[in-house]
Structure 1
């Protein structure tokens, strides 16, 4: 049974609707718990005070009864103090026998009431006992104890003071209990409001995001909440982290759409221009018509490649059913052979150690192809592109190095950004998506792709697969 299921019967008994807000339910449960504790403490205090006062009366009766029993060992049945008739003394005593009748109030022989229990004590068939009586409008505490010779001693003392003390204590504790209930209600409301403050802010933030569709909002947490985080504070902090990730994702999508629209605008304009030229092919010379057709085909291939790259970048992760063990050394060797065919003027050297990683072969081949094309594009004619694959104890590392102009310091933090092109690359063909796609593929395979500026010039890209 969950905590909510266990609290449901209590809430129903307290008259709280099932669909009441969480703050109301928490306040009611907290208030009820504190109120029960306060009332329980007051009730226990009342019982203790009453027990202690009665015990003091009983102790006083016992001590006086022992003294009287020693002094009046041979006293016949009847009252021991004449003053008891008029209750001018604080205590009254009388001796009864098994044959003594109940004649209280009919004469002066007996003052205290005699019952069957009293005669049973005189007979010796019942032990001593305490009782409360009312005599002529006065409340008294009486002890009936056996004496020698089949007699019983009845000793009563007035209990007005003790009874008034018990009543006053009861009234005071009742007032304290009522104040405790009110205090419990206030504390329950305060506790629910304080405990659910981050939840209230979380709800307000979520509603504000829903209304504005802006994930830049955050839940404000005080310094005290950050110093002493509880479960709700950690929930609010996790919600802020989620909002940060959502904001980055939305911003990345917006940048991708903006950059894609910007990059597609130029080739689409060129396509439309060449298409319009070919529509008037009868007015063009054969050479102009062939040149326009060739340009149209080239631009169609560029747009197709750009669209395919955008589709690849839109994928956040690799399909798990396609992941399999891949001999990376063989895949790299195959990629190098393909690159030699695409870039015949660039020599490729490879030093490959046998190693296996888990991934999607086609995607890893695309990653390698992008790195090799980027290295060959910036390498001067005849300058080698060097590949090295090593298998260490903690990772498998592939490095691709060229001997071109290298990466400028201001460009190094942006080489993997989408559509980013350095000043050296603006005169070269490409859309600026190759390295961005390579890093995305690497991250989808739990690998890390970094760019470095090695000594001696050129650029070095390092792909690291952790063994875990």
Structure 2
């Protein structure tokens, strides 16, 4: 069964990809040197062969002229041919009848070619021929002399080329081996920062310690890679620190409602087991206890939802769209009224278009209204306003409560922060931190001030966008 033709290249590709970068660089360096040596050998061989051939041809022409001069003086049939020296030059005279004369003891030359016979008959002045056979190759020069022609030949000697090729082979092997060693050394030195980077990454993976930065060394791409990984480690450290703080703060915030819930439930169970539930807890006390349990469960549910929102961070599947912020404000106010019917919300909103995530923005506005509702007196509404100031959409939520102390202002939007005056009020301290995160994600900013009614004024500025349709409408609720 024949093997598919594409199987071998695929196997070679897999083998190559399985090699280390150091091995690849070594192979590439050795291959590049081998190719360079081969190309240099080919070019040098051609140049050397051409030079030797030109020298041999010039020598043959000079010898032919000497022999032709003698043949013209003495005649081609009587000219005295030089004795064969045993090697090197060979001579021959072509007579008018086509026969030949050669020195005694000289090896036989190839038969006279038809082109050489035409030179002897006067058809051409001279002729340079190259005769390559399986045994010996000859370079033969034919020159017209009197009524015939003379020929001077030389055995084509390839030994200089062969010796040169052998020398180039040895040099090539030496260069390939040296290139492989140099490539290995250069690869090892160049990849040393990568090796240290790999060791540091393995150490971080094994120890889970993100505090140690990788030394910033090397240059170019390697330095940028190290800086990127150091930046990634710093981001991971910040993320781990944030997770740890979130877990600690969440455990602290969950402790109080869970403890209260557990004590109330244990009280009910203990009284029920004794059979004294009806006598020990009158109907009014039981109702108050059950209401407390319901409030604690609701508080836990709210805290769990807010913890989930905070833990998600900026990760959201909600897409950004062009929307009218007034619609978001109206929807948030409606939700606030349904959740706390005793809180009055006064809306004064103007259509302002923004690019954002509607659900996230609605949650932020709802948290602002909920926060103001905790402080606003029963006879005073929470005022919610939306207007445009140039290229900015301005949201303002204020109450008629006691306001925010100056020492608490810088930490109002911090996660789990609750002022001393808010310890007895329901809440987790996460609502305004969620507002801050949503505003940051939309490129806006928050501010805290005192309202004209003496309470707190929370302001949010968001970048406005061009309206989808011309014209604006004002809605007051």
Do the structures match in fold with TM over 0.5?
A: yes
Go from structure 1 to structure 2 and tell me whether the alpha carbon gap of 1:338 and 1:384 turns closer, same or farther (over 3 Å shift). Answer: same
Unmatched tracts of structure 1, length 5 or more: 134-138
Distance 1:209 1:79 in 2: 101
Distance 1:219 1:11 in 2: 37
Q: In the alignment, which of 454, 462, 465 is matched to residue 464 of structure 1?
A: 462
Question: 1:96, 1:119 within 8 Å by CA — same for their partners in 2?
Answer: no
Say if 2:16 is the partner of 1:21: no
Correspondence for 1:95: 93
Go from structure 1 to structure 2 and tell me whether the alpha carbon gap of 1:150 and 1:362 turns closer, same or farther (over 3 Å shift). Answer: same
Question: TM-score with structure 2 length normalisation?
Answer: 0.71
Say if 2:428 is the partner of 1:431: yes
TM-aligned CA deviation for residue 336 of structure 1: 4.8
TM-aligned CA deviation for residue 370 of structure 1: 0.9
TM-aligned CA deviation for residue 221 of structure 1: 4.6
Correspondence for 1:279: 269
Deviations along 1:140-180, one digit per CA (max 9) or x if unpaired, are 975422304452222357998xx675455334322221122
Correspondence for 2:367: 370
Deviations along 1:322-371, one digit per CA (max 9) or x if unpaired, are x776432133245457768959798x765532134466655433211211
Question: 1:31, 1:187 within 8 Å by CA — same for their partners in 2?
Answer: no
Deviations along 1:127-148, one digit per CA (max 9) or x if unpaired, are 6224589xxxxx9975422304
Go from structure 1 to structure 2 and tell me whether the alpha carbon gap of 1:33 and 1:331 turns closer, same or farther (over 3 Å shift). Answer: same
Distance 2:194 2:264 in 1: 60
- 3-state DSSP class of the match of 1:448? coil
Go from structure 1 to structure 2 and tell me whether the alpha carbon gap of 1:259 and 1:128 turns closer, same or farther (over 3 Å shift). Answer: same
Correspondence for 1:116: 111
TM-aligned CA deviation for residue 87 of structure 1: 6.4
Go from structure 1 to structure 2 and tell me whether the alpha carbon gap of 1:102 and 1:420 turns closer, same or farther (over 3 Å shift). Answer: farther
Deviations along 1:298-345, one digit per CA (max 9) or x if unpaired, are 333322221222233344544448x77643213324545776895979
Correspondence for 1:180: 175
Go from structure 1 to structure 2 and tell me whether the alpha carbon gap of 1:59 and 1:101 turns closer, same or farther (over 3 Å shift). Answer: closer
Go from structure 1 to structure 2 and tell me whether the alpha carbon gap of 1:8 and 1:114 turns closer, same or farther (over 3 Å shift). Answer: closer
Distance 2:77 2:380 in 1: 136
Deviations along 1:48-93, one digit per CA (max 9) or x if unpaired, are 22322222222343345446545653443379776644469x8675
Question: 1:84, 1:91 within 8 Å by CA — same for their partners in 2?
Answer: no
Go from structure 1 to structure 2 and tell me whether the alpha carbon gap of 1:338 and 1:423 turns closer, same or farther (over 3 Å shift). Answer: same
Go from structure 1 to structure 2 and tell me whether the alpha carbon gap of 1:82 and 1:270 turns closer, same or farther (over 3 Å shift). Answer: same
Go from structure 1 to structure 2 and tell me whether the alpha carbon gap of 1:240 and 1:76 turns closer, same or farther (over 3 Å shift). Answer: farther
Correspondence for 2:350: 353
Q: In the alignment, which of 297, 307, 316 is matched to residue 300 of structure 1?
A: 297
Correspondence for 2:53: 54
Q: In the alignment, which of 221, 229, 236 is matched to residue 221 of structure 2?
A: 229
Correspondence for 1:145: 142
Say if 2:29 is the partner of 1:37: no
Question: 1:77, 1:94 within 8 Å by CA — same for their partners in 2?
Answer: no
Say if 2:249 is the partner of 1:259: yes
Correspondence for 2:473: none
Distance 1:392 1:306 in 2: 35
Across the aligned residues of Structure 1 and Structure 2, the Cα RMSD in angstroms comes to: 4.8
Distance 2:187 2:7 in 1: 16
Go from structure 1 to structure 2 and tell me whether the alpha carbon gap of 1:452 and 1:112 turns closer, same or farther (over 3 Å shift). Answer: same
Go from structure 1 to structure 2 and tell me whether the alpha carbon gap of 1:291 and 1:9 turns closer, same or farther (over 3 Å shift). Answer: closer
Say if 2:307 is the partner of 1:310: yes
Go from structure 1 to structure 2 and tell me whether the alpha carbon gap of 1:12 and 1:262 turns closer, same or farther (over 3 Å shift). Answer: same
Counting only pairs closer than 5 Å after superposition, residues 405-416 of structure 1 correspond to structure 2 as: 405-406=403-404, 408=406, 412=410, 414-416=411-413
Question: 1:27, 1:192 within 8 Å by CA — same for their partners in 2?
Answer: yes
Go from structure 1 to structure 2 and tell me whether the alpha carbon gap of 1:344 and 1:176 turns closer, same or farther (over 3 Å shift). Answer: same
Correspondence for 1:136: none
Larger displacement relative to structure 2 (294-303 or 192-201): 192-201
Distance 1:362 1:239 in 2: 35
Q: In the alignment, which of 325, 330, 347 is matched to residue 328 of structure 1?
A: 325
TM-aligned CA deviation for residue 35 of structure 1: 1.7
- 3-state DSSP class of the match of 1:116? coil
Deviations along 1:101-131, one digit per CA (max 9) or x if unpaired, are 475544xxxx574431367514438962245
